[in-house]
Amino acid sequence: MVPVFKEVGSLDRKCYDQYQLTEDILMEHAGYEMALEIYRRIPKGSRVVICSGPGNNGADGITLGRILEGDYETYLYLPLGAKSPMAKLQLERYRKIGGRILEWKKGERLISGAVIVDALFGSGLKRELSEELICLVKAMNRVEGFKLACDVPTGLDDRGVPRPIGFKADMTITMGGAKISLYSDFAKDLVGEVKVANLGVAFSKYRGQTDYYLLEESDFTPPIRTRQNSHKRSYGHLGVVVGEKPGAGIISALAGFNFGAGLVTAINLGRAQLPYEIMEGEKLEGFSALAVGMGLGGKMGVIEKELVKVVVEDGTPAVIDADLFHNSIIGELVKAPRVVLTPHPKEFAGMVFHIWGEKLTSREVQENRFQLVERFTREYPQSVLLLKGANRLIGYNGKIYIDPLGDVALAKGGSGDVLAGLIGALLAQGYHPLKATLTGSLALSLAGRYRPNYGLTPMKLIKRLDGLVEKEAK
């Protein structure tokens, strides 16, 4: 896991105060980290076009230009001038080494280059871009070439929301530490590959306290069985409620059965035809874990009282999904000791109405994903929340984990039902709810890497779990 931060200004100040580093030293390292990436990718002698802002993010871009000039043909745009002391100093250095400075006027095209560098604004943007800057960002996006963003693509605010558009980078080199603004759903189409730049001290020395963490592929540990003297009940019994739209529940049941649960039983409210390997039952009691809500529809009344008793009063681990978030019963379920909640943004808005009495649109949820998940984990520290999206957020007991590994191939009906089954299977096998959620989310992301990216189906997704487990077992 990689620590992620809301802001790194305080971490920069620690470098100044504790390590006696200067802005100049940190800026040199920032410039060299970007330069090294260009040296690796782009032949010397190519043209590098840099658009720099008036502050220290712009100064990072100017520093890059000075480092590259001579090996590359550098061109610098300064649409707002150089205003911070460091920007003025770096500009003077750039001029003395022979760097070229160009003027840009609204409506003009930028000159072409092998590399286009966005160093207009870094983290901390709090206002809408001006009309002039919107035109400039559009011009930068239109130019062909390798697109490199310095720190944060221009236009993204500290929530990762475009204000109102953003620079579309092939790579973002962010300074000192990863920032949550780079991992919003909106940012996923803008940041490209994200790399954290070393600013002159080891990351372990630079970083401070945080409650945010970025999941990596290496964090995935599938439920490989190591004990030979065992039987089917050693691996738990998952109960899956199959409701008015039975396909969703059946997909969850199959996913759970394929991800290690020893037994899977469907509480078959809709009397659907079940796969042979899935057993059929009538009551919610007696299971190691439950998965409820997928395709439930109007069947809620049949199980409502029993569900509250089994999950809230008896403490049976459960993954709650889909239709249950629009039912007032969710106000009771969020208080359960071992519950995992897996809403998408619209479902999260439904849950918010029932638990907080507030009306939110899906757009408002998306714009405030981090803040809302953080608030939920503070108020319901015993529950695990997984907010679905392009980057899934998993919150528990004040800490938030970001799964950025999901692919657009997962944007298909049934992917969320698979996820519920994966988490349910792990709960049934005795995993802590947080560990079950992190592992299930990573399994979905890794299995969802499918080409062509429009062709993934839930059954293909379930089948691909075999490859993940086989790879880990080796």
pLDDT of residue 226 exceeding 90: no
With contact defined as beta carbons under 8 Å apart, do 237 and 265 qualify?
yes
pLDDT of residue 470 exceeding 60: no
If asked whether residues 184 and 264 sit together in one domain, one would say no
C-alpha 103/C-alpha 331 separation (Å) is 58
Pairing of strands 212-214, 2-5: antiparallel
Summarize pLDDT for 428-464 with one digit per residue, the tens.
999 999 999 999 999 999 999 999 999 999 999 999 9
User: Distance between the two ends of the chain, CA-based, in angstroms?
Assistant: 22
- The DSSP letter of residue 311 is I
Tokens of 265: 């039983």
Q: Give residue 49's identity as a one-letter amino acid code.
A: V
With cut-offs at 50, 70 and 90, classify the pLDDT of residue 298.
Answer: confident
For residue 340, the domain's CATH number is: 3.40.1190.20
Residue 156 lies in a domain: yes
pLDDT for 126 equals 81
Q: Which of 470, 468, 423, 425 is nearest to 449 (CA)?
A: 468
With cut-offs at 50, 70 and 90, classify the pLDDT of residue 469.
Answer: low
pLDDT of residue 339 exceeding 50: yes
C-alpha 394/C-alpha 218 separation (Å) is 17
Residue 409 lies in a domain: yes
C-alpha 185/C-alpha 188 separation (Å) is 5
With cut-offs at 50, 70 and 90, classify the pLDDT of residue 302.
Answer: confident
Tokens of 143: 């130019």
Q: Which of 179, 208, 237 is the last residue of a domain?
A: 208
Instruction: Using alpha carbons, list the distances in angstroms from residue 160 to 165, 184, 405.
Output: 11, 5, 17
pLDDT of residue 246 exceeding 90: yes
Highest mean pLDDT among 110-124, 134-148, 223-237, 264-278: 134-148
With cut-offs at 50, 70 and 90, classify the pLDDT of residue 325.
Answer: very high
Q: Which of 303, 333, 320 is nearest to 243 (CA)?
A: 303
If asked whether residues 252 and 194 sit together in one domain, one would say no
Residue 34 lies in a domain: yes
| Burial class of residue 71 (count of CB atoms within 10 Å of its CB; 0-12, 13-18, 19+) | middle
Cβ neighbour number for residue 14 with a 10 Å cutoff? 17
Cβ neighbour number for residue 2 with a 10 Å cutoff? 17
If asked whether residues 131 and 26 sit together in one domain, one would say yes
pLDDT of residue 323 exceeding 50: yes
Q: What is the mean pLDDT of the chain?
A: 93
Q: Which of 154, 174, 208 is the last residue of a domain?
A: 208
In this prediction, what percent of the chain has a pLDDT beyond 70?
Answer: 99
Residue 213 lies in a domain: no
If asked whether residues 420 and 335 sit together in one domain, one would say yes
C-alpha 61/C-alpha 79 separation (Å) is 13
If asked whether residues 58 and 196 sit together in one domain, one would say yes
Summarize pLDDT for 151-204 with one digit per residue, the tens.
999 999 999 999 999 999 999 999 999 999 999 999 999 999 999 999 999 998
With contact defined as beta carbons under 8 Å apart, do 261 and 291 qualify?
no
If asked whether residues 192 and 136 sit together in one domain, one would say yes
pLDDT of residue 473 exceeding 50: no
Q: How confident is the model over 358-363, as a mean pLDDT? A: 96
Tokens of 182: 């780079």
Q: Which of 165, 188, 208 is the last residue of a domain?
A: 208
If asked whether residues 71 and 170 sit together in one domain, one would say yes
Biggest CA pair distance of the chain = 81
C-alpha 16/C-alpha 325 separation (Å) is 48
The pTM for the full model equals 0.94
Length of the chain: 474
Question: H helices then E strands: how many in the chain?
Answer: 15, 19
If asked whether residues 230 and 99 sit together in one domain, one would say no
Q: At what angle do helices 9-19 and 23-41 cross, to 10 degrees?
A: 120
If asked whether residues 372 and 334 sit together in one domain, one would say yes
- The DSSP letter of residue 123 is T
If asked whether residues 453 and 370 sit together in one domain, one would say yes
Q: Domain containing 420: what range?
A: 218-473
Contacts with 299 (C-beta within 8 Å, 6 or more apart), sequence order: 241, 243, 244, 269, 270
Compute φ and ψ for 173, nearest 5 degrees: -100, 110
Instruction: Using alpha carbons, list the distances in angstroms from residue 165 to 105, 136, 158, 183, 371.
Output: 19, 11, 14, 16, 21
Q: How many domains does the chain have?
A: 2
If asked whether residues 224 and 203 sit together in one domain, one would say no
With contact defined as beta carbons under 8 Å apart, do 176 and 196 qualify?
yes
Contacts with 365 (C-beta within 8 Å, 6 or more apart), sequence order: 345, 346, 348, 349, 352, 372, 387
Q: In what order do the strands lie in the sheet with 47-52?
A: 100-102, 73-77, 47-52, 115-119, 146-150, 171-175, 193-197
HSE-CB of 99 using CA atoms within 13 angstroms: 27
If asked whether residues 55 and 202 sit together in one domain, one would say yes
Summarize pLDDT for 27-49 with one digit per residue, the tens.
999 999 999 999 999 999 999 99
pLDDT for 471 equals 54
Q: Give residue 157's identity as a one-letter amino acid code.
A: D
